[in-house]
Amino acid sequence: MPSSADLLEPLRRGEPRALGRAISWMENGHPGARDLMASLWPHLGRAVVIGITGSPGAGKSTLTDRLARALRAEGQKVGILAVDPTSPFSGGAILGDRIRMQRIAADPGIFIRSMATRGALGGLARATQDAIDLLDAAGYDTVIVETVGVGQDEVDVVSCVQTCCVVLVPGMGDEIQAIKAGIMEVADLFVINKADRDGADQVEQELTAMKSLAPPRPWDPPVLRTVAQQGEGIPELLDRVREHGAWLRAHGGLARKARERARLRFESLLAEAALRRARAQAGSERLEAAIQAVADHAQDPYTAVAGILGEP
């Protein structure tokens, strides 16, 4: 078993195996995780982090691929984190993901990882933040975080990337429904993908209408069109991402995002640690007995929890 000191150097050199192991450490709460993060901490803050979010079928993966390849063409090293609270069940889609991953992972300048931990409360958001830091410390220039974007965890993840792109597609029925989940406020760019399909104008009109209903924001998120499958609109998307980055730098936005991100990480780690401590203090036997008492309707869950915590 390597120690965190053994992992540090290969990780800083960007070796994929060290990176993969370090991400697993963070996901699983390995004893060396904390030391590793502490020793990396001074080396962070260089990578640009882009979020790609939107409903299933919007073409996020293809868009992410195209962005990654465009950045590679500039000589950048690119990390991709596919955040997906998925199950091991759905063979088809996972298989598709794997094929995609193998294709672009053949490029040593791209590191791709699927984040799908379904562990502790808020653990997915926290593990993704850790993975972003590890990629940053390993010298990746840009990290793309791709997520379905529904659910609080995912909103937390994309709310503190540098530039959050919300992807929509024409003709997906009640399209606007898909972007209800708290991601409107965190969108820095709207991307209408598959824009060669009928209905792109309608989506753009709906977006414009929604924006006009919202409270004004200092950065008005632009609406772009792409056909990711053909690579159309990708250079323009990168231009806009950079424009937004420049705007953030000019308006103190990077410091604000850093604070939001620090708050999120701190609070989810605090929740995990507090729960771990409460569990350890109670012991699994007492915990299981309390859960059984709730299941049997012998005790309500509030009273059971107070009992475990030794509160009146």
**Binding residues for a second copy restricted to 17-56, rule: CB under 8 A:** 33-34, 37-38, 40-42, 44-45, 55-56
Query: Hey, what are 240's tokens?
Result: 């806009």
State which of positions 255-274 bind a second copy (CB under 8 A): 255, 258-259, 261-263, 265-266, 268-271, 273-274
Strand partners, 52: 146, 165
Task: Pick the closer one to a second copy by CB: 246 or 274.
Answer: 274
Contact between 283 and a second copy by CB under 8 A: the answer reads: no
Sole window of 3-11, 102-110, 136-144, 251-259 interacting with a second copy (rule: CB under 8 A): 251-259
The minimum distance between CB 161 and a second copy, in angstroms, equals 15
The minimum distance between CB 220 and a second copy, in angstroms, equals 14
Number of chain residues interacting with a second copy (CB under 8 A):
89
Contact between 308 and a second copy by CB under 8 A: the answer reads: yes
The minimum distance between CB 109 and a second copy, in angstroms, equals 26
- For the chain, the maximum distance between any two Cα atoms, rounded to a whole number of angstroms, is 64
The minimum distance between CB 38 and a second copy, in angstroms, equals 5
Task: Pick the closer one to a second copy by CB: 78 or 132.
Answer: 132
Rounded to 5°, the CA angle 144-153-40 comes to: 55
Residue with tokens 């040593």: 108
State which of positions 288-307 bind a second copy (CB under 8 A): 290-292, 294-295, 297, 299-306
The minimum distance between CB 222 and a second copy, in angstroms, equals 17
Task: Pick the closer one to a second copy by CB: 78 or 170.
Answer: 170
Query: Hey, what are 257's tokens?
Result: 């995002």
Contact between 216 and a second copy by CB under 8 A: the answer reads: no
State which of positions 71-100 bind a second copy (CB under 8 A): 84-87, 89-94
One residue of 141, 146, 175, 188 binding a second copy per CB under 8 A: 175
The minimum distance between CB 248 and a second copy, in angstroms, equals 15
Contact between 5 and a second copy by CB under 8 A: the answer reads: no
Binding string to a second copy for residues 191 to 210, with x set by CB under 8 A, is what? Answer: ---------------x--xx
Contact between 16 and a second copy by CB under 8 A: the answer reads: no
The minimum distance between CB 105 and a second copy, in angstroms, equals 20
Neighbour order of strands in the sheet with 163-168: 110-115, 78-83, 142-147, 48-54, 163-168, 189-192, 223-225
State which of positions 101-160 bind a second copy (CB under 8 A): 118, 121-122, 124, 148, 150-155
What crossing angle do the helices spanning 33-40 and 16-28 adopt, rounded to 10°?
120
The minimum distance between CB 239 and a second copy, in angstroms, equals 26
* Alpha-carbon dihedral angle through residues 68, 71, 77, 78, given to the nearest 10 degrees: -30
The minimum distance between CB 145 and a second copy, in angstroms, equals 16
Contact between 229 and a second copy by CB under 8 A: the answer reads: no
Rounded distance between C-alpha atoms, residue 63 and residue 229, angstroms: 8
Rounded to 5°, the CA angle 260-8-109 comes to: 75
Half-sphere exposure of 22 (CA within 13 A, CB side): 33
